[in-house]
Amino acid sequence: MSALGSFNAQLLRFFKELNETFPEERDIQLAVEAIEATKKINPKMILDLFWENVYVDLNEAIKREDDEFVISYAKSKISNKYNEISPALLIFEKHWPTMTDANHAAIWNYLKVLCILAEKARASKVLF
């Protein structure tokens, strides 16, 4: 599997797990559907959305597990621009305070892996 394929597969797993954890959040289910459709049509677009809306501004905060920064960013980003990545950011704003430590750890792990995979996919010469 290519670096881009690995990234997209991991992002889709993340959203599907979020959907299982928060089935009442319709936006997450819609995001899963949008990601699946975009993956078929233009898989690089998913990476570009993640890169622009998560990686650039949040990579360091994710590495530090700085939930306060991520929540503040999520509030700002969602109010200014909504896209397929927004439901994941919404989880920080809406559900983070009531989540278990195990859920926090799982989300941080997903985000850290996604950032690493995004770096590898962007560095891959296949994309350029």
Q: Cα separations (Å) of 80 from 60, 109, 119?
A: 22, 27, 25
pLDDT in tens, the chain (128 residues): 799 999 999 999 999 999 999 899 888 888 899 899 999 999 999 999 899 888 999 999 999 999 999 888 877 766 565 555 666 667 777 888 899 999 999 999 999 999 999 999 999 855 44
Q: What's the first-to-final CA gap in the chain, in angstroms?
A: 17
pTM summary value: 0.86
Phi then psi for residue 36, to 5 deg, are -60, -45
Q: Which amino acid is at 96?
A: W
